[in-house]
């Protein structure tokens, strides 16, 4: 039985760090990661290269000196994005990707795209410059059931975009369905991030025995067969699938409300949870690919040089159940089982 594992330092290819007091409270909790793709859905959103550079500087200022996390910035695609600004920001090393939110899909996505024809010139320029497009893969048509929004997005938005701009490299972010797994598996020039929590919970965790707001996120967790498809994809060794935690802190007050916010805060305990998930599926030897190798390969970056060590002990690792954030608290994702894998960092 394997009781310890040394891996290249993992990266998080989808992370929300927020801003201000919340940024200061949560940033250090991503300290196990070497790099993270930082989501631009602030209020107001990060829509220019200059704003991305300023946000990167705020993140770096919020990180304690012992945390070496390198933020990889993104720009929020709108119908008025200037292709020249975006290309320059990429050329100057300010941004690593561009994020597409269908208007209204999730937290702070009101500025997202309604008419995809309007962004076609930007997508063409991105394809030419080799800038990946990260997509929030849900349609927002009120007529489409929330549990079907990812599958409909593939047919109505994603596949048409990829056909119209075949050179564009696309990441389907936080896939939650077997439809997402199947689409990515059948295509090239596409990758997919999978979150920690979608490997652990299905929709029963949110809805059975009383509503559990801390398990509510978008895209919402689906039925068990979809969770199992995600587990198979994550543990398959297929390079197109890699970790993006989508760790998304909200104040507890905003989660535990009549209209609770979407997002799970998984940054602190993600590596312990993933070690357990991969062990259960007999795939510990593929954990490093999922957390540390496949993502850099997709983004055309080297893997991190340094290592972390995971050690399985008889007593569970302890993580806080809540962390303070200014006058608020943020609940850390509870996987519902004890975490025997401890992270030793540095290895």
Where do contacts with Zn ion occur on this chain (CB under 5 A)? Answer: 246
Tell me how far apart the terminal alpha carbons of the chain are, to the nearest angstrom. Answer: 20
CB atoms within 10 A of CB 181: 25
Of the pair 41, 48, the CB lying nearest Zn ion is at 41
160 φ/ψ angles, rounded to the nearest 5 degrees: -60, -40
The answer to whether the CB of 103 falls within 8 A of the CB of 113 is yes
Nearest approach in angstroms of CB 97 to Zn ion is: 13
Closer to Zn ion at the Cβ: 228 or 262? 262
DSSP-assigned beta bridge partners for residue 133: 98, 170
Q: Which is nearer to Zn ion, 150 or 246 (CB)?
A: 246
41 annotated ligand-binding residue: yes
Give the shortest CB-218-to-Zn ion separation in angstroms: 8
The Cα 104–Cα 294 span in angstroms is 30
Least Å from the CB of residue 16 to Zn ion = 6
By beta-carbon proximity to Zn ion, the closer residue of 179 and 246 is 246
| H or E stretch at 160 | helix 159-164
Is 100 annotated for ligand binding?
no
Full DSSP string of 21-90: HHHHHHGGGGTT-SEEEEP---SS---SHHHHHHHHHHHHHHS-TT---EEEEEEE--TT--HHHHHHHH
Say whether 77 counts as a known binding-site residue: no
Are 334 and 267 within 8 A, CB to CB?
Answer: no
- Provide the b/e sequence for 234-257 (b: ≥16 CB within 10 Å): bbbebebbbbbbbbbbbbbebbee
295-329 as b/e: b if 16+ CB within 10 A: bbebbeeebbeeebebbbeeeebebeeebebeebb
Q: Residues for the chain: how many in total?
A: 347
Q: Whose Cβ is closer to Zn ion: residue 246's or residue 288's?
A: 246
Q: How far is the CB of 237 from Zn ion (least distance, A)?
A: 25
In the annotation, is 117 catalytic? no
Which of 11, 12, 238, 246 is the catalytic position? 246
253 assigned ligand-binding residue: no
Query: Shortest Cβ distance from residue 268 to Zn ion (Å)?
Result: 17
189 annotated among ligand-binding-site residues: no
32 is in an annotated binding site: no
Which positions are annotated as active-site residues?
Answer: 246
Q: Per the annotation, where are the binding residues? A: 14, 16-18, 41, 99, 136, 174, 218, 246, 250, 262
Q: Per the annotation, where are the binding residues for Zn(2+)? A: 14, 16, 99, 136, 174, 246
Q: Per the annotation, where are the binding residues for substrate? A: 16-18, 41, 136, 218, 250, 262
């Amino acid at each position: 039985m394997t009781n310890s594992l040394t891996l290249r330092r993992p990266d998080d290819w989808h992370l929300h760090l927020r801003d201000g007091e919340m940024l200061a409270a949560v940033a250090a909790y991503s300290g196990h990661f070497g790099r993270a793709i930082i989501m631009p859905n602030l209020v107001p959103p990060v829509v220019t290269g200059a704003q991305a550079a300023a946000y990167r500087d705020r993140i770096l200022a919020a990180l304690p000196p012992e945390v070496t996390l390198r933020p990889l910035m993104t720009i929020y695609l709108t119908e008025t994005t200037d292709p020249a600004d975006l290309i320059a920001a990429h050329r100057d090393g300010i941004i690593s990707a561009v994020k597409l939110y269908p208007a209204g899909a999730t937290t702070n996505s009101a500025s997202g795209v309604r008419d995809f024809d309007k962004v076609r010139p930007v997508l063409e320029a991105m394809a030419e410059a080799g800038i990946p497009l990260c997509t929030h893969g849900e349609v927002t048509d009120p007529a489409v059931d929330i549990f079907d929004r990812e599958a409909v997005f593939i047919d109505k938005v994603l596949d048409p975009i990829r056909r119209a701009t075949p050179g564009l490299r696309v990441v389907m972010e936080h896939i939650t369905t077997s439809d997402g797994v199947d689409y990515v598996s059948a295509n090239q020039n596409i990758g997919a991030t999978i979150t920690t929590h979608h490997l652990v919970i299905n929709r029963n965790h949110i809805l059975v025995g009383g509503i559990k707001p801390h398990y509510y996120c978008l895209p919402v967790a689906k039925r068990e067969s979809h969770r199992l498809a995600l587990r198979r994809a994550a543990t398959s060794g297929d390079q197109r699938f890699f970790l993006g935690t989508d760790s998304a802190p909200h104040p507890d007050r905003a989660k535990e409300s009549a209209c609770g916010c979407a997002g799970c805060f998984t940054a602190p305990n993600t590596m312990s949870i993933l070690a357990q998930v991969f062990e259960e599926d007999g795939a510990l030897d593929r954990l490093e690919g999922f957390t540390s190798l496949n993502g850099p390969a997709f983004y055309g970056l080297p893997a991190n040089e340094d290592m972390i060590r995971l050690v399985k002990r008889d007593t569970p690792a302890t993580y806080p159940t809540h962390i303070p954030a200014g006058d608020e608290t943020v609940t850390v994702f509870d996987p519902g089982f004890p975490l025997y894998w401890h992270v030793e960092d540095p290895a």
